[in-house]
Amino acid sequence: MKRSFVPGIIDVTRVSDADEIRKLVEDQRLDRKFDSRWPLLNAVFLRRVLQALSFGGHRFPTLRAREDDERAGNQSALWNQLNRRAAALNAANPDVGSLAQWVVGSGSDEELGILTQQAIGRLFVETYTSDSESWKAARLLASAPQAKGLSKFSPRFRRKVVRAKELLAAKVNGDLAGVHGTGVAIHNVVKGFHRMRQLYRDITVRKQASADAIVAECLSAPAMVLRQATENGSAPGCPYRKGAIFLLELAAAQTKANAMDMVFLERAWSRCPADRWVPALFQSVWKSANIGNP
């Protein structure tokens, strides 16, 4: 853990150790209520993140609290829905076929983004169609919480982010889980397909690696997730105060310890509802790419 602490100014702890992250995720005093706006820089940081990842006065599901019953119910329902979709994925699925063609071929980064966004969007709206504008909106939305310099305070930049969310929301009938999927979570899936193309081009890997091994290579955790202390407490070796922010650096933790549970946090209350669908998509695309290409 690495804590930045100046009384009244900042109280932020970065955590990149998988074991420490597991313990913190289980800590009932660390939540996503985000109702404490002190110290000063904590408030500025939270305001920027919550502004970027909210729409129509509502936060994205990934920023809603543990005890939010609506969030929990929607998350469970989406998990069940995506599990059914995962079980039905195969080479006959048109999105699987298109993505497999990209892996085998020489399509552009934009083409991959559009194809991946379309596959995710159709989990929410069967007729979802992606294009260069919706993919551009996804890239803009993903950049918004990390915007640096004066741009993050620019009214012009904020308007662009709002328009991006409006476009993405319209395509999924306002479903904020769909906006998050097609605008934020999508980028780790795209990253996985880039890795898959690299693996496919290695003939030895193509001949010898199992589909499960390929999937494991393609899965990557989000860069980080946020928690905030709802009261004073103590983590192993790190006492904390109410309002303290914890940046759980999942991607770094996965890389350091090959901790695959960091990818979806599937043991936690906040697990990703796509923890079975994404691996199933990768596996189906890999198998489809290898049909007739031993």
Mean pLDDT, rounded, for 106-131: 98
Mean pLDDT, rounded, for 222-228: 97
Residues 188-202: tens digit of each pLDDT: 999 999 999 999 999
Higher confidence at residue 168 or residue 147? 168
Residue 46 sits in a domain of what CATH number? 1.10.630.10
Q: What percentage of the chain has pLDDT greater than the value 90?
A: 88
Check residue 148 and give its pLDDT: 60
Per-residue confidence at 291, pLDDT binned at 50, 70, 90? confident
Q: Is the pLDDT of residue 294 over 60?
A: no
Q: Is the pLDDT of residue 151 over 70?
A: no
Residue 294 falls inside a structural domain: no
Q: Which amino acid is at 67?
A: E
Domain that holds residue 47: 2-289
Residues 245-262: tens digit of each pLDDT: 999 999 999 999 889 999
Residue 53 falls inside a structural domain: yes
Q: How many folded domains does the chain comprise?
A: 1
